[in-house]
Amino acid sequence: MGSFSIWHWLIVLLIVVMVFGTKKLKNIGADLGGAVKGFKDGIKDGEQGGAESAAAPAAKVTQDSTRATKDTIDVEAKNKS
């Protein structure tokens, strides 16, 4: 009574496919996979960045700017002394 059977889940899956369509579900899966990959890369870069010197993050920003798209705005912040 408390848990759903396999038939309940199949009916829910059928309704989701009918509402969204298979193409949209495929795109959602690809976007989710890309987000997970980006998260893992960010975690890996963060772990490696902890052992680097203070000058290294500036070089890292320069490397990341090569991946910029046409919608990216590159800004450099400077401290007043």
Please list the rounded mean pLDDT of every run of 10 residues in the chain (81 residues): 82 90 86 92 81 50 55 72 65
Integer CA distances (angstroms), 56 to 19, 43, 50, 59, 60, in order: 49, 17, 10, 5, 6
Task: For the chain, give every domain's residue range.
Answer: 22-46
Query: What pLDDT score was predicted for residue 60?
Result: 52
Alpha carbon dihedral 5, 8, 10, 11, in 10-degree steps, equals 170
pTM for the complete prediction? 0.39
